[in-house]
């Protein structure tokens, strides 16, 4: 009787916290439910890659033809951003892999087993339900890691394309300051333009950190909000009403993966452009016209 009374008085809380919950530990390494899902997404990508690779034939079948159409369309979309097929072909494997990884993570979180299978953690008179699986992109740590990877990768790509010195001068433009001593006699306006150019480079350096915040919080916010919405609708209206919201989240997951990938393409494209050559050419044309 006492045990039954205790069980009746125990309240089970099923909430979606903003942080990922730990499931187990490997030494000092904490494995969270979002990390398990990210590993699952990697395995799905690896499995699909191997299946497609083994099915490739000189005369494509329906499945191979479908994937070729998808790849051509995706490459064409990247071309619209870069306006350079060579640049597109160099960054496409990274961008498309990123898109597939994010998309699978977004959609895995919509499966019925996510959020419904887990364990209870007692906290006083209440028990908190902790799911074993959670969408990787609903964890700020995952989206932050992806954003840092994109920003660092775009700068490395810029160094590979235009060189380390020109990439460095985008942020700390000492070349602009040095031009004061070489061109001040021909063009006195350099006394004003060069410091402004140097200051703009510092703003671009701050912009790199803004990119990390923008990419990570946009993806995390939309996916996390979707999980909270579905959990709330399921708790209030049971199984019928959440259906339309589920299809909506499928669409949102696709759009968010596409936005993240396109922004990555934009950042890589900007990093591969040499703005100094364009500015020097424009400056020379102005001097000749004068």
pLDDT one-digit tens code per residue, 186-236:
777 777 777 777 788 788 888 889 999 989 988 888 887 777 776 666 666
**For position 242, what pLDDT does the model report?**
60
Contact yes or no for 101/49 (Cβ under 8 A)? no
Q: How many structural domains comprise the chain?
A: 1
Over residues 251-271, the pLDDT tens digits come to 888 999 999 999 999 999 999
Domain residues for the domain of 258 are 2-289
Task: Classify burial at 177, counting beta carbons within 10 Å of its beta carbon; exposed 0-12, middle 13-18, buried 19 or more.
Answer: middle
CA angle 42, 60, 72 (to 5 degrees): 60
Q: Residue 285 — very low, low, confident or very high, per pLDDT cuts 50/70/90?
A: very low
How wide is the angle at C-alpha 146 spanned by C-alphas 143 and 148, nearest 5°?
110
Task: For residues 103-120, give the mean pLDDT.
Answer: 76
Coil, strand or helix at 52: helix
Instruction: Decide: 133 and 113 in contact? Cβ < 8 Å.
Output: yes
CA distance 79 to 73: 10
Residue 20 phi, psi dihedral angles, 5° rounding: -80, 140
Whole-angstrom CA distances from 245 to 79, 142, 202, 227 are: 34, 24, 44, 10
Confirm if 253 and 223 have CB atoms less than 8 A apart. Answer: yes
Q: Which residue has the higher pLDDT, 43 or 125?
A: 43
Highest mean pLDDT among 107-121, 162-176, 202-216: 202-216
User: What is the CA 10 to chain-centroid distance, rounded?
Assistant: 41
* CA–CA distance, 36 with 47 (Å, rounded to integer): 16
Backbone angles phi, psi at 21, to 5 degrees: -90, 140
Q: Could you give the angle at which helices 85-108 and 33-55 cross, rounded to 10 degrees?
A: 130
Give the C-alpha distances (Å, rounded to integers) separating 158 from 7, 161, 206. 61, 5, 17
Which tokens in the block code for residue 94?
């990274």
């Amino acid at each position: 009787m006492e045990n039954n009374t205790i069980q009746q008085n125990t309240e089970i809380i099923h909430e979606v916290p903003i942080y990922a919950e730990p499931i187990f530990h490997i030494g000092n390494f904490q494995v969270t439910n979002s990390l398990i899902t990210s590993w699952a997404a990697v395995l799905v990508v690896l499995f699909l890659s191997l299946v497609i690779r083994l099915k490739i034939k000189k005369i494509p079948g329906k499945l191979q033809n479908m994937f070729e159409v998808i790849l051509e369309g995706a490459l064409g979309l990247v071309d619209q951003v870069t306006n350079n097929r060579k640049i597109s072909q160099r960054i496409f494997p990274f961008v498309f892999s990123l898109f597939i990884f994010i998309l699978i993570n977004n959609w895995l979180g919509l499966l019925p087993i996510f959020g419904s299978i887990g364990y209870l953690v007692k906290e006083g008179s209440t028990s908190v339900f902790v799911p074993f699986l959670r969408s990787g992109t609903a964890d700020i740590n995952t989206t932050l890691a992806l954003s840092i990877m994109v920003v660092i990768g775009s700068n490395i790509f810029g160094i590979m394309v235009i060189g380390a010195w020109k990439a460095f001068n985008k942020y700390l433009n000492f070349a602009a300051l040095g031009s004061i001593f070489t061109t001040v006699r021909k063009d006195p306006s350099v006394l004003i333009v060069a410091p402004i150019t140097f200051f703009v480079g510092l703003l671009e350096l701050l912009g790199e950190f803004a990119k990390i915040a923008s990419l990570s919080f946009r993806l995390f916010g939309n996916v996390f909000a979707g999980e909270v919405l579905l959990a709330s609708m399921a708790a209030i209206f049971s199984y019928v009403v959440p259906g339309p919201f589920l299809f909506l989240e499928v669409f949102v997951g696709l759009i968010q993966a596409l936005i993240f990938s396109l922004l990555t393409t934009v950042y890589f494209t900007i990093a591969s452009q040499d703005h100094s050559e364009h500015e020097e050419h424009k400056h020379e044309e102005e001097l000749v016209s004068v």
